[in-house]
Amino acid sequence: MDDLLTVLIRGLAQGSFYALVAAGFVVIYRATDVVNFAQPALMVMGAYFTALFRHNYDLPFWLAVLAAIAVVAMIGAVSERVALRPMVGQPPFSAAMVTVGLFLVLTIVANRLIGSNVISVGDPWGLETAVFAGNVRMRVADGWGIGLTIVAFAAVGLFLTRSRVGLAMRATSLDQEVALAQGVNVGRMFGLSWAMAGGLAGLAGMVYGSGGTGVDPTSAFVALKALPVIILGGLDSLKGAYIGGLVIGVAEAFTRANAASLSGVVGANVDVVVPYLIMLIVLMVRPYGLFGTPEVQRV
């Protein structure tokens, strides 16, 4: 039972990270109808800048995290302005390919900045583990990750539902032309969405790198698992991103915990593909996900 809870918490933490990356996907998809494949690269950037501000500029950890979030948000906004704004009105596939190009460029930049070594984000938790309720173990960093994710989702949710700008963003995602006619600066909303997604990716980078894991440029491929998450939760649903993230994270953690007994049937390291298998099944059964809006085809 204790082992089960330990695995569950580990899964929730991993899932929280996926959820954070997925939230960036959702925010951008809602605003611009683009799936942003560059999101994982932004995540790596977030971890890099956290480490940079922490180690090179000696900022306190929380300040470093906030600064990194701000910088990555800016990278997001600039990418939108330079690469994505000219794609407005183009087919969604072209825009998605532009983000793939962006992904390549950002990954190379990250490669250049980080090199081949693993960098630590300089979090104060390290490898600390807390033991409670008998024998349930939890990494302190995991606890922070789970908590921060809830805070981030709450903040984004409140911003979207309660603030004037959030209202404008929702109007944009509903219908760009109507929003434009109502005096919403649609272009600014696009930029803002990308900035928000960048900020979330920055935070995700910190969460991923904390707890002694560290980040290297190939971590971007781990963050790609946010794609199964958004398919499971629904491309345009924040709630879906959160719940989907947790489901995928927990499923992965349990497969990893039972890897030994599974390896005879499906091979080792099957936990790496479990998210994608779930995604394939969801796409077959319910392509718009648990909470997504079903696609309406006009004839």
Instruction: Decide: is 35 part of the binding site for other proteins (CB under 8 A).
Output: yes
Within positions 99 to 158, which residues make up the interface with other proteins, using CB under 8 A? 100-105, 107-109, 111-112, 115
Instruction: Decide: is 90 part of the binding site for other proteins (CB under 8 A).
Output: yes
Residue 151 tokens, joined: 């805070």
Q: Are 70 and 203 contacting, i.e. CB atoms less than 8 angstroms apart?
A: no
Q: Which is nearer to other proteins, 69 or 227 (CB)?
A: 227
Q: Which is nearer to other proteins, 64 or 197 (CB)?
A: 197
How many binding residues for other proteins (CB under 8 A)? 45
The residue to which tokens 């908590």 are assigned:
147
The secondary structure of residue 13, as a DSSP letter, is H
CB of 297 to other proteins, least distance (A): 6
Instruction: Decide: is 87 part of the binding site for other proteins (CB under 8 A).
Output: yes
Instruction: Decide: is 297 part of the binding site for other proteins (CB under 8 A).
Output: yes
CB of 79 to other proteins, least distance (A): 10
> What is the rounded CA–CA span in Å between residue 215 and residue 159?
30
Contact with other proteins (CB under 8 A) among 5, 97, 140, 167: 97
Instruction: Decide: is 13 part of the binding site for other proteins (CB under 8 A).
Output: no
177-183 own/partner pairs: CB under 8 Å, 24+ apart: none
Contact with other proteins (CB under 8 A) among 61, 159, 254, 276: 276
Instruction: Decide: is 51 part of the binding site for other proteins (CB under 8 A).
Output: no
Q: Which is nearer to other proteins, 78 or 270 (CB)?
A: 270
DSSP-assigned beta bridge partners for residue 119 = 215
- Binding segment toward other proteins, per CB under 8 A, in 52-60, 142-150, 151-159, 279-287: 279-287
**Of how many residues is the chain composed?**
299
**Going residue by residue from 253 to 272, which x/- string records binding to other proteins, judged by CB under 8 A?**
-------------xxxxx-x
Burial of residue 180 (CB within 10 Å: 0-12, 13-18, 19+) is: middle
Instruction: Decide: is 290 part of the binding site for other proteins (CB under 8 A).
Output: no
Q: Which is nearer to other proteins, 166 or 187 (CB)?
A: 187
CB of 264 to other proteins, least distance (A): 11
Q: Which is nearer to other proteins, 9 or 251 (CB)?
A: 251
Instruction: Decide: is 24 part of the binding site for other proteins (CB under 8 A).
Output: no
**Going residue by residue from 220 to 249, which x/- string records binding to other proteins, judged by CB under 8 A?**
-x--x--xx--x---x--------------
Binding residues for other proteins (CB under 8 A): 35, 83, 86-87, 90, 92-94, 96-98, 100-105, 107-109, 111-112, 115, 221, 224, 227-228, 231, 235, 266-270, 272-273, 276-277, 279-280, 283-284, 287, 297, 299
